[in-house]
Structure 1
Amino acid sequence: MAANNSVNGGESSLRSINGRVLFVQVLVFVFLCINSLLIMTFFMKDYFYSTMRYILFAMTLLSDCLYLLVTDILLILNYFNVAIQMWVCLVIYMILSLYTYLTPVTLTAMTLERYVAICLPLRHSVLCSTRSCMHCILIIHGISYLPCIAVLSIFFTSATHGFYIQKNICSVEIFIFHKWQGHLRSAISQFYFLVMVSIIIFCYVQIMKVAKAASGENKKSTWKGLRTVILHGFQLLLCLIQLWCPFIEAALLQTNFLLFINVRYFNYITFILAPRCLSPLIYGLRDEMFFQALKHYALCGLNKNPLDF
């Protein structure tokens, strides 16, 4: 009887895990379809790819698509216990490390753009020009890649040549040979968290001051910008909490494996998938011009659109 209960419990657990994996596949597929439609809309109108906030928006969509795709592939490989060579895992880690930080750093840059547009309107055309945006994108990628460089520079000095051709289940913990490497990674994440939260709070306070002093149409526009900053702040908070997830999961792995699996699944849904579905909400639906263009192309031009396409 006990054996039967054990088997039934194992089958129930397997069905639960299968259901979770299938649920993630559905979510990822839906998000990728929505983001692809938004990216197509972005490239269909000149105004969008000549305006800084839309360029940064498109960059978050592209990075989110790649991040979701790679994390989903890694999830499937881990679920089926597929071992891969460590040099392939290293490439995956470099991609994920970059795009883990790229979205929150880009969101911070988008918040600064809203701050300049509302609080420094006379300088907006200069500070947020297309040329400045290209420089900003390079800076964002550089800042986002610094944590990866810090971790890998230590890894390269410690790893032997034979390590790269070994086969193993791919995870970030493989590249941490010493306990202090984990502490360094944690310190970098917390530093990024503090800097980005400080920028969000500063922009919110400054825009709030302008909103209170504004009147008429300016007041309406300012409050709309303030709500956008609040949504950016919430999205950024979810992304930044994601930076702490590996340390919580590592602690749970040492104590309770089943709890570790459940928490890791919750973290993936809440702090990886959820923040990356908020971008379409913030710009794809709330931005009137982008929404009209999105509706126009989604309906294959059948709707009567007030914008000149």
Structure 2
Amino acid sequence: MVINDAIQLTVTITLFVLSYILFKINVSFCCFFILVAVFTTRNTPVNLASMAIERYIAICEPLRYAQICTVRRTYMVIGLIWFMCVAPDITDLFVTLATESLRFFHQSVFCLRQNIFKDPILAHKRLAFDIIYFSCVFLVLVFTYLRILFAARALSTQKMSAQKARNTILLHGAQLAMCMLSYISPSVEVVLRFIFPGRVLEIRFANYLIVYILPRFLSPIIYGVRDKKFRKYLKMHLMSCRRGGTAQKVTPVDEGNF
């Protein structure tokens, strides 16, 4: 998840900066940036579903957890996730290669997905796959959340861990909802451009922050700040920064006490 989000943010930030500096870039480079951004963006909800299933197994099937969630199977799941996310969208490139002339790939365009993959059938295909992927992920999150909720009520010995897993899946749901903003963002951007015609760059920047940055901002909160040990050391370092970054000296009396 961290590697995927790092790649996604790096590529989208690079593309965003290039669009401001150069405005138009070569179609071949744009294809690369767009495809990598699409692959990693589609990866996020599928990663959320797989992690929710892992939490469900840990809470509801604790005796079989070590048998099911092995390192080898984890690598297999990661490979399956990438295949599921790459396969539908790589066909856009094949269709474009078949329908466009070689001259098209030497041109310079404003790097948007609809400017590269222009076939109307591809837009309908993307919409269908987006609905399928996000519907499946939503159902997985609801199922795992309900099962963990029932387990938390039934098993008092695992109540704290089950509640933590339930809260994690709730945050996954919030992250998924924010990722789904990418569906309505093009329509909202068109409306805002009509209302504020002179604020195109500001609208694009705000859209980028809300749709691409904020959902990834939840990951360090889910897996960092909520962890007790990490929170303890984070608080300690923040307190040391407030004091000017200087560590407190230990007196000889304290040394003797140690």
Fold similarity call, TM over 0.5: yes
Match of 1:282 in 2: 222
- Report deviation, 1:103: 1.6
Structure 1 residue runs of 5 or longer lacking an equivalent are 1-59, 304-309
Residue 71 of structure 1 corresponds to which residue in structure 2? Answer: 12
Distance 2:111 2:103 in 1: 16
Q: 1:229 offset after TM fit, Å?
A: 0.7
Displacement of 1:254: 8.6
User: Match of 1:171?
Assistant: 112
Distance 1:260 1:178, change over 3 A: farther
2:3 aligned to which of 58, 62, 74 = 62
Choose 1 or 2 for highest CA Rg.
2
User: Who is 1:53 aligned against?
Assistant: none
CA contact (8 A) 2:48 2:137 kept: no
Indicate yes or no: 2:164 matched with 1:224: yes
Structure 2 match to 1:5:
none
Q: Please, which of 180, 185, 191 is the counterpart of residue 240 of structure 1?
A: 180
TM-score with structure 1 setting the length: 0.70
* Alpha-carbon distance change, 293 to 128 in structure 1, aligned in 2, over 3 angstroms: farther
C-alpha deviation, 1:263, in angstroms: 4.6
- Tell me by how many angstroms 1:297 deviates: 9.8
Q: Give the stretch that moved more between structures: 154-163 or 171-180.
A: 171-180
Q: Distance in 1 between matches of 2:140 and 2:201?
A: 34
Equivalent AA in structure 2 for residue 92 of structure 1: F
Is 1:189 the counterpart of 2:130? The answer is yes
| Residue 80 of structure 1: aligned partner | 21
In the alignment, the residues of structure 2 paired with residue 211 and residue 223 of structure 1 have an alpha-carbon distance, to the nearest angstrom, of 6
* AA aligned opposite 1:222: A
In structure 2, what is the Cα distance between the partners aligned to 1:158 and 1:69? Answer: 30
Q: Give the Cα separation in 2 of the matches to 1:186 and 1:102.
A: 16
Aligned to 1:143, which of 75, 78, 84? 84
Tell me what 1:270 maps to: 210
State the aligned residue count.
Answer: 241
CA contact (8 A) 1:283 1:290 kept: no
Of all paired residues, the percent bearing the same amino acid is 31
Rate the CA distance shift 1:119–1:273 in 2: closer, same or farther, 3 A: same
Gap change, CA 1:114 and 1:214, over 3 Å in 2: same
Matched, 1:94 2:35: yes
Give unpaired runs (5+ residues) of structure 2. 241-246, 249-258
Scaled by the length of structure 2, the TM-score of the pair is 0.82
- C-alpha distance after superposition, 1:236-273 (max 9, x if no partner): 22113224434554x54995655765554333212211
Partner of 2:50, secondary structure, is: helix
- Structure 1 vs Structure 2 CA RMSD: 2.8
Please state if 1:161 is matched with 2:161.
no
Matched-pair contact (CA < 8 Å) for 2:192–2:203 = no
**Distance in 1 separating the partners of 2:84 and 2:200:** 31
Residue in structure 1 matched with residue 243 of structure 2 by the alignment: none
Q: CA deviation at 1:284?
A: 0.9
Deviation by residue 1:173-208 (Cα, 9 ceiling, x = unmatched): 112323232222112111111111111111111111
Give the corresponding residue for 1:108.
49
